[in-house]
Amino acid sequence: MASPTSRRQFFKNAAISTALASVPLAGFGEVYENAIDKTPKNSAPSDLKITDIKCGYIRNGHSLFVKIYTNQDIVGHGEGVDATPGTYHLVKMFAQRIKGKSPLNVHRLFEDIRRSGFFEGAQSGMYIAVLTAVETALWDLAGKALGLPVYQLLGGKFRDDIRVYMDTALYQNRLPKPEDFAAAAKEAVGMGFTAVKFDLDQANDPNKYDRYNWTASPAEVQRMYDQMAATRAAVGPKIDICADMHGRYDAPTGEKVAKVLEPLNLMWLEEPIPAENAEAYKRIADSTSTPICAGENHYLALGFRPLLELGAVDIIMPDLQKAGGLGEAQRIANLANLYYVPFAPHMVASYLGAMASTHVCVSVPNFMIMEWQIYFHKDPMFKEIVTFEGEMVTKGFIKVSEKPGIGVEINEEGMRKYATPGVPFFE
């Protein structure tokens, strides 16, 4: 535990360096002074240095967890998803680039890693997904070093908790029928959720022309409508429902499905086509009153600029575990806010990723809703791999943690039995 002397010396040095030594500490930096008092460390935050980054993978490498270690035994935790298989050595390369530096300079370290990778793929994909995990861990570390929750470091909060929708994961069923959609929606509403999401792309649909043809047959479109109509009938008009097509169709199909679903008053239709063509998204959005949502496979704020400038989508849904990190997520949300576009993050991570995302969601004005997964309630792994206090979710809302940092940590031993074979585990 830091002594009062070391704390006073830290603020004294800060005051001298800014010619403010005559200002009473009770007024200058009081919040941070009190926060540092409560935080275990071996020396002043200005002496904090990164010593190593270690990582572990689960879900066949599609979930990356990192720990950033320091000379003061404060450890930061972060997570990346999807674009992470085979990235162990990328994590280690990033570690070499920031070892010996202060983790409190989060934006600077983000830029150090990003700019050093201009010719290594630092525009999107695996590079940015891994950088996301590292950047998130830096925020966690900074919060712990200063005794503050991450949202406070991001500028404070607009709300205390965030609304989440339930992704029912009904895609795990083989050819679910409309009545399966209705039952899953009722289950989610019975758990307290006021919004649900279903997937409409079904690779096993016998009415598909073939697996490579992106045009949905009339029978497929009818199947999609019947499934969502059953959902609406089951939950009534006051529950939000949304549908995901996972970017697996062409623009004419996107237009057709969006038009067919208009009477059902969806919260949104998600990614009817792949991510790359903003002009095609605009064509669909302009053709329908069904809100169009996209962004799960876009990276960095630069990736969202065309969507927003063209008015190609009604709602953006960056994945905060692969789009660039928490600071970049706030930049994306603020950019969208200039166009009056709601911010509704995609979220398929663990509760570490969910809470990290929550810190961003409370810190921006245009937050709408965030994704939540049924597997948090049905797969024990998701409670074993992290440590946290309280309930994960209450009646469809997540309360932001007030603990220093993110407020959720990796449970390395709990994760070990789920580790991806053949990949070093926190080594």
- Longest CA–CA separation in the chain, Å: 78
One domain for residues 313 and 328: yes
One domain for residues 23 and 89: no
Q: Has residue 229 been placed in a domain?
A: yes
Positive or negative, the CA dihedral 416, 418, 424, 426 is negative
Q: Which of 148, 181, 206 lies at the terminal end of a domain, its last residue?
A: 148
State pLDDT tens for residues 314-331: 999 999 999 999 999 999
One domain for residues 158 and 211: yes
CA–CA dist 176, 106 (Å, integer): 45
One domain for residues 142 and 157: no
One domain for residues 163 and 118: no
Secondary structure of 36-97 as H, E, C letters: HHCCCCCCCHHHCCEEEEEEEEEHHHCEEEEEEEECCCCCEEEEEECCCCCCHHHHHHHHHH
Q: What is the pLDDT of residue 5?
A: 42
Q: Has residue 411 been placed in a domain?
A: no
Q: Which of 131, 148, 165 lies at the terminal end of a domain, its last residue?
A: 148
One domain for residues 126 and 273: no
Q: What is the pLDDT of residue 175?
A: 87
The torsion of the CA quartet 254, 260, 262, 265, rounded to 10 degrees, works out to -100
Q: What is the pLDDT of residue 40?
A: 53
Q: Has residue 418 been placed in a domain?
A: no
DSSP-assigned letter for residue 401: P
One domain for residues 88 and 123: yes
Tell me, what CATH number does 239's domain have? 3.20.20.120
One domain for residues 162 and 61: no
One domain for residues 34 and 128: no
Residue span of the structural domain in which 29 resides: 4-38
CA–CA dist 245, 242 (Å, integer): 10
- The total domain count for the chain is 3
Q: What is the pLDDT of residue 22?
A: 40
Tell me, what CATH number does 130's domain have? 3.30.390.10
Q: Has residue 207 been placed in a domain?
A: yes
Q: Has residue 416 been placed in a domain?
A: no
Q: Has residue 25 been placed in a domain?
A: yes
386-387/195-199 β-pairing: unpaired
Q: Has residue 197 been placed in a domain?
A: yes
One domain for residues 335 and 209: yes
Place of tokens 């201009």: 118
Q: What is the pLDDT of residue 99?
A: 97
Q: Which residues of the chain have pLDDT under 50?
A: 1-28, 41-42
Q: Has residue 412 been placed in a domain?
A: no
One domain for residues 251 and 324: yes
One domain for residues 26 and 114: no
